[in-house]
Amino acid sequence: MPAKDTYYLTTPIYYPNDIPHIGHGYTTVAADVLARWRRLRGDRVHFLTGTDEHGENIARAAAKRGMTPQEHVDEINPRWHDMLSLLDISNDDFIRTTETRHTARVQDFMQVLYDRGDIYLDTYRGAYCVFCEAYYVADELVDGRLCPVHRRPVEQREQENYFFRLSHYAEQLLRLYDAEPSFVQPAVRRNEVRSFVESGLQDVSVSRVSFDWGVPVPWDDKHVFYVWFDALLNYVTAIGYGSDPDAFQRRWPADVQFIGKDLIRFHCVYWPAMLLAAGLALPEQVYAHGFLLVGGEKMSKSNATGIRPAELVDHFGVDCYRYYFLREISFGQDGSFSWESMEARYTTDLANDLGNLANRVLHMVGSYCGGTVPEPAVAAGDAESALAGGLAAAIEGLAAFDRLDFKKGLEDLWVGIGAVNRYVEARAPWKLHKQGAADELGRCLYTCVDALRIIAVLISPVMPDAAARLWAKLGLDEPLSAQRYPATVQPGLLPAGAKVERGELLFPKLAE
Ligand code: MSP
C-alpha cells in the first residue's frame, strides 16, 4: 500500500439551492490560497470542493419550481462552476453527492457502521429545522420555537429512524480534543465543541422516511440517509474510499478541512465519530472561519443580504476580490464587508503600493536601459542590504500561511513591498541616470526588477492573475509555475539581459 504523499484539503460542499454568494466565495478562496501556497512550497496537492445535493430542503425547492430534484440541481450546478472559474479556483476535483461514485460508497460506509452495531432502529421526537436539516434540543431554540441559525420556526417531528451510537464516542472525542489541540482550530471553536460534547452526547438520527430524495439505506429501502451523513462522506468518497485504495491511502487523512463556524458540530463531533466507528484515521485539522456579516448579521440569501461574487469582481477584478477578504478580516473571526474599504484596499495596497512600483521600475528599465535588465556591475551597498533585509522579512512572514494566518502573511508582504518603494526613493535612479552613473544605475534597476520577480512569486497564491501578468512583463524564460518557496524567492536569482515590458497597468484606475 502506498503511504500518504498528498496534501489534501477540502471546503464544505455547498447546497446548490442558493446562488453562490460571497460567503461561499470566502471559504473557497481561502482554501484555494492554501492549495496554491502548498503547491508553491512543492507539495503534491489535492483540493476538493463540491455540492451537497440531497435532502428535504433541495426536494422542497425543486417542487416549488415544478422540477424534479435532479433537474433542479442539474440546472443550478453550472452556477457553482461559474463561481469557481470567476474566482480563479484551482480545485482538483468537484464532487456532487448525486454522483454514483459517491452514493454507492456512502452505502458501503454506512453498512460497515451497521454491521459493527453502531447503527440501530428507534423512534425520534424533536424540534427540526428544515433549513439546517437538523434537530435541536429545546434549550437551543430561540424564544423556545425558532431555529438558532435561521430564526425561523422549527417543526415538531416524530419519525422512525436509524440512529448512530454517537454517545458511545464521547469519551474518545474528549480525549482527542485534549490530546490533539490542533484538530479543531481556532481555539475558541475547540472550546465550544469540547463543552458541547462534555455536556452529554445523544445518539443521532441517520435516516429519514418522510421523503426519498437521498441515498437509500441499503438494508432497509423505506429509508434514505440523513443528508448530513451523506454529505460528510464526500470527503472520503471523492478520493477513492472503497473504490481506489491506492489513491485513498495517498490522500487520507485530510490535512485541513475548511468550514464556516456554523458547521462545527457536524465536522468536529459527528464526523470524527463516524470515522472512529469505521476505523479510519481522523483529519489533521478542521478549521472553522468566521462569518461575513452584513448589517451585523450573517450574510445569507435567506436574510436577503446575499452579495454575488460577480458584483465585486466586475468592479474590482478577481485579484482584489481574493486579496481583500483575506487581508481585511482575521481568518477565524467574523468580519464586515464594505464597498469603501474594498475600494481603499484597491487604491492603496494594489494600485499604489504594488501597481505603481512595477510601472515605475519597468518604465525606467525601458527608458534608461532599452528594456533590458542590466548587469549588476557594482557590488551591493547599504541600500541593497537594507532592502534584502526587508524582503527577507516578507519572505519569512509569508510562512504565516502555514498557520492559516493569511492577514499576517499579507501584512508582512506589504511591509516588504514598502521596502522596495523606499529603496527606489532612496536610490533615485532618475538622478543616477542624470549623473551618468551607469554602473550604480544598473545595480539599482537590477535590484528593483529582481524584487519584482520575488514579489510576483509571493503574491501568486493570493493573486494568481496579477502574478502571471507581472511575471509576463519580466520576460523570464522559466514559467511562474516552476517557482518554489523559499528556494527561488531569494535575491539575486534574476538573470541579467531579460527583456522587460512595461505594458498595461497591473491595477488600472477603477471605473467611476
Ligand atoms: N451543505 C452544507 C455543508 C455540508 S459539508 C459536508 C452547508 N452548505 S451551505 O451552502 O450552507 O454552505 C455552508 C458554508 O458556506 C459555510 O460553512 C461557510 O463555509 C460558507 N458560508 C455561507 N455563508 C457564509 C457567510 N455569511 N460568511 C462566511 N461563510 C459563509 O452548510
Between the CA of residue 358 and those of 9, 86, 355, 366, 493, what are the distances in Å?
Answer: 34, 25, 5, 12, 18
Domain chopping of the chain, boundaries: 7-289, 339-489
The structural architecture, per CATH, of the domain 7-289 is 3-Layer(aba) Sandwich (3.40)
- DSSP per-residue codes, 332-371: TS-EE--HHHHHHHIIIIIIIIIIIHHHHHHHHHHHHHTT
In percent, the amount of the chain with pLDDT more than 70 equals: 99
- Residues 283-303, mean pLDDT to the nearest whole number: 87
- Residues 215-224, mean pLDDT to the nearest whole number: 97
pLDDT of residue 160: 87
pLDDT of residue 502: 97
Between CA 25 and CA 31 the distance in angstroms is: 10
pLDDT of residue 377: 85
> Which atom of ligand 1 lies nearest, measured to the CA of 12?
5
313 alpha-carbon distance from chain centroid: 17
Q: Which residue CA neighbors atom 29 of ligand 1 most closely?
A: 23
Q: Which residue CA neighbors atom 2 of ligand 1 most closely?
A: 14
Tens-place pLDDT, residues 89-123: 999 999 999 999 999 999 999 999 999 999 999 98
- CATH (one of 1.10.730.10, 1.10.579.10, 3.40.50.261, 3.40.50.300) for 339-489: 1.10.730.10
Q: What is the residue-averaged pLDDT of the chain? A: 96
Whether residue 304 is predicted with pLDDT greater than 70 in this model: the reply is no
Q: Which band of pLDDT confidence, cut at 50, 70 and 90, is reported for residue 134?
A: confident
Q: Which residue CA neighbors atom 24 of ligand 1 most closely?
A: 23
Q: Best of 9, 11, 15, 19 to mutate for ligand 1, by most ligand atoms within 8 A of CB? A: 15
Whether residue 233 is predicted with pLDDT greater than 90 in this model: the reply is yes
Residues with C-beta less than 6 Å from any ligand 1 atom: 12-15, 18, 23-24, 26-27, 52, 231-232, 259-260, 262-263, 291-292, 298-300
